[in-house]
């Protein structure tokens, strides 16, 4: 997604201090911010011009002690054709030298009433989410007992019908058919629905239904961190399926490995209950309780005791 200072203005209700006609809303390419204290002192050798420049009370207090010539020179060097925006915190006024330099090269000069530290955190979190790498996956994302479960499978295997059954059982739909997945930080995948199909389910023979309208606001979520993947496939008599759950499979999205389960589909199997139990079992594993491992250890002990009895 292309993010500019205009998005920042709208998201955080920032005030534009210079002439909008002179401003160029350039793309923001990094979530890193810069607090140009060294630059205020005249050291521009490693100036990160492509970052949003955040001016707090410290920077502006130092700036106020400079001579008129130094003020003009520092602000002209601070405002470059690469700089996406300069933001002042704490509701501080922008010095005329900054307004003039910003208008000259089209840099938006913005103001917020929020403290510098809090504003820095809010801007960084927003930009990390917006600039995170994104991919779209054909599937369904459901929040089951707080576990984000990505349900995948070939078209017509029953993903949407299973999601509808899960919603009826009190769980929350995030996305159907297409899931937009962003890696917001290392090992963290967050899924959401495209705006066009948000809160909608497509059921063959029934059509498009609005889950929030039918089941209430508590039946949907706008986004959810993905914890595991369940792949639905038609039952293959020749294939050997895992019956103990000792072997863990994974699917890689970006550089994150998601635990993956393959659930065979055939008439008579209640997929919603199976997926619900899979999510609960996943939570137990994260708490250190692995039923399959415990069974394997007990079985090994029984076999070992039997061998001893023979002697």
Residue in 259, 257, 266 with CA at minimum distance from that of residue 239: 266
> From residue 176, how far is each of 24, 71, 163 by CA, in Å?
38, 55, 8
76 labelled binding-site residue: no
Query: Any catalytic annotation for residue 138?
Result: yes
Catalytic residue chosen out of the listed positions 74, 111, 159, 199: 159
Do the Cβ atoms of 104 and 127 come closer than 8 Å? Answer: no
Residue 158 marked as a ligand binder: yes
The answer to whether 6 is annotated as binding is: no
CA dihedral angle for residue 254, residue 192, residue 141, residue 239, rounded to 10 degrees: -30
Of the residues 177, 198, 260, 285, only one is catalytic, namely 177
First to last CA, the chain: 70
Active-site annotation holds for 7 = no
Residue 159 assigned to a binding site: yes
Q: Is 153 annotated as a binding residue?
A: yes
Catalytic residue check, 243: yes
Name the catalytic one among 238, 239, 243, 266: 243
Bridge partners, residue 265, by sequence: 234
Q: Does 297 appear as a known binding residue?
A: no
Q: Please give the Cα distance from 173 to 144 (Å, whole number).
A: 9
Looking at 118, 138, 169, 225, which residue is catalytic?
138
- 112: annotated binding-site residue? no
Instruction: Note if 177 is an active site residue.
Output: yes
Do 1 and 131 touch, CB atoms closer than 8 A? Answer: yes
Residue 151, φ and ψ in degrees, nearest 5: -100, 120
Residues flagged as binding site for Mg(2+): 160, 202
Binding region for ATP:
153-160
Annotated binding-site residue numbers: 153-160, 202
List, by residue number, the catalytic residues: 138, 159, 177, 243
């Amino acid at each position: 997604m292309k993010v500019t200072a205009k998005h920042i203005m709208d998201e955080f209700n920032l005030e534009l201090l210079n002439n909008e006609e002179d401003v160029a809303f350039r793309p923001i390419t990094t979530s890193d911010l810069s607090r140009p204290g060294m630059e205020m002192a005249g050291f521009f050798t490693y100036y990160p011009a492509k970052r949003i420049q955040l001016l707090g009370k410290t920077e502006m207090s130092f700036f106020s002690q400079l001579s008129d010539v130094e003020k003009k020179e520092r602000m002209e060097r601070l405002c470059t054709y690469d700089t996406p925006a300069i933001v002042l915190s704490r509701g501080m006024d922008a010095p005329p030298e900054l307004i003039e330099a910003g208008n000259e090269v089209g840099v938006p000069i913005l103001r917020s009433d929020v403290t510098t530290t809090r504003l820095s955190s809010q801007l960084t979190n927003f930009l990390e989410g917006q600039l995170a790498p994104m991919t779209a996956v054909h599937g369904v994302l459901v929040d089951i007992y707080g576990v984000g479960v990505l349900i995948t499978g070939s078209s017509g295997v029953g993903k949407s019908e299973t999601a509808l059954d899960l919603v009826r059982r009190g769980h929350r739909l995030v996305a159907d058919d297409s899931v937009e997945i962003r890696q917001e930080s290392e090992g963290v995948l967050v899924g959401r629905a495209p705006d066009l199909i948000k809160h909608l389910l497509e059921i063959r023979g029934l059509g498009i239904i609005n889950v929030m309208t039918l089941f209430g606001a508590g039946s949907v979520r706008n986004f959810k961190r993905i914890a595991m993947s369940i792949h639905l496939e038609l039952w293959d008599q020749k294939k050997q399926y895992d019956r103990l759950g000792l072997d863990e499979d994974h699917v890689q999205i970006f550089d994150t490995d998601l635990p993956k389960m393959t659930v065979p589909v055939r008439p008579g199997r209640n997929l919603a209950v199976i997926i619900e139990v899979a999510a609960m079992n996943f939570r137990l594993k994260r708490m250190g309780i692995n039923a399959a491992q415990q069974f394997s250890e007990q079985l090994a002990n029984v076999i070992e005791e039997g061998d001893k009895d023979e002697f």
